[in-house]
Amino acid sequence: MVPKSTLSRRALIAVAASSLTLLAALPLRAQETPVKFQLDWRFEGPAALFLVPAAKGHFKAEKLNVTIDAGNGSGGTVTRVASGSYDMGFADRAALMEFHANNPTAPNKPVAVMMVYNNTPAAVLTLKKTGIKAPADLSGKKMGAPVFDAGRRAWPIFAKANGIKDATWTAMDPPLRETMLVRGDVDAITGFSFTSLLNLEARGVKPDDIVMLPYAKHGVKLYGNVIIAGEDFLKKNPEAVKAFLRAFTKGMRDVMADPKAAVATVKERDGIVNADLELRRLNLALEQTVLTPDAKAEGFGDVNASRLALMASRCRMRSRRKSASMRMRCGTRVSCPA
């Protein structure tokens, strides 16, 4: 029989050892920086750009605890990052510029930290039956898009570049955009090419009956979506932001290497998505915005200063009617992962 005193000593030693093990683990957990991140849209193919580095542990490896939520438009994402509800997000650069122009005294203005969509995916889409074949044909036509749509926000630039006059606008909720075009309620719509194109096909429109006029191919080579960070979060956690960008870049390479597996990651997050459809969407997004000659020339994640200045100088904001510059901070230049 073992004396009670021996049991007590052994029990105490065991408890002490367990406590030391627990305490040793605590500093590692404490070092993880929480990051609340909001996408620009739903969990569709392009969301893989962020869900993959999370699933593969790239954020964890950088000591970040990242939570990723769906969005409902770039304007909403910018506003929520500005409010502090989210630390970082993914949003269209034009929406970010507009926020800066309209809220010059905001205490926590979001700033862009990495370019992702080197060319905007904004496009005008219409149907052959309308007779619209080129941008000039849009003069006097009825356009449709949600008020926060990136293409609609950048419309003044597109219209000026292509001599379009007297077009009128009808606003609608996103799910009705393509439906209203098919019904003939509007003559044309603006939207992200890889979203509206597939949505029209899903509504029974044959690909040959769709006319698509990408902004980037018609004189408007705007930058598209960027990763943004709240100004306060950036000041307090500059190393965490850089770590986020490093992990994101690793994830981008994974997505490029295996888009099908990347979409499987999206489906794990939202089981109702159509994997085949979202694979098409992801590949279209990559081809049209990331794997472009401009991106390869400038370097993935980076920007061209003159091109950036040109965009700012030409972008007349809807409410204040003036241009706004946007700072690019903590942007790390990396090789295009193509």
- The tens digit of pLDDT for each residue in 167-215 reads 999 999 999 999 999 999 999 999 999 999 999 999 999 999 999 999 9
pLDDT, residue 334, reads 36
User: CA end-to-end span of the chain, whole Å?
Assistant: 70
Reduced to 3 states (helix: H, G, I; strand: E, B; else coil), residue 257 is: helix
Question: Pick from 71, 84, 33: which is nearest to 241 by CA?
Answer: 33
pLDDT, residue 117, reads 96
Cβ contact 119:217 at 8 Å: no
pLDDT, residue 298, reads 87
pLDDT, residue 324, reads 37
Q: Could you say which residues of the chain have pLDDT below 70?
A: 1-30, 310-311, 313-338
pLDDT, residue 304, reads 82
Q: What six digits make up the tokens of 294?
A: 């401009």
H/E run at residue 150 = helix 150-153
Alpha carbon distances (Å) from 89 to 36, 50, 55, 114, 274: 8, 10, 18, 11, 25
What's the rounded Cα separation, in Å, for the pair 201 and 208?
Answer: 10
Kindly provide the residue ranges of all beta strands, DSSP E only, lying in 210-278, ordered along the sequence. Answer: 210-214, 225-229
Question: Pick from 172, 171, 121, 185: which is nearest to 150 by CA?
Answer: 121
What's the rounded Cα separation, in Å, for the pair 331 and 322?
Answer: 26
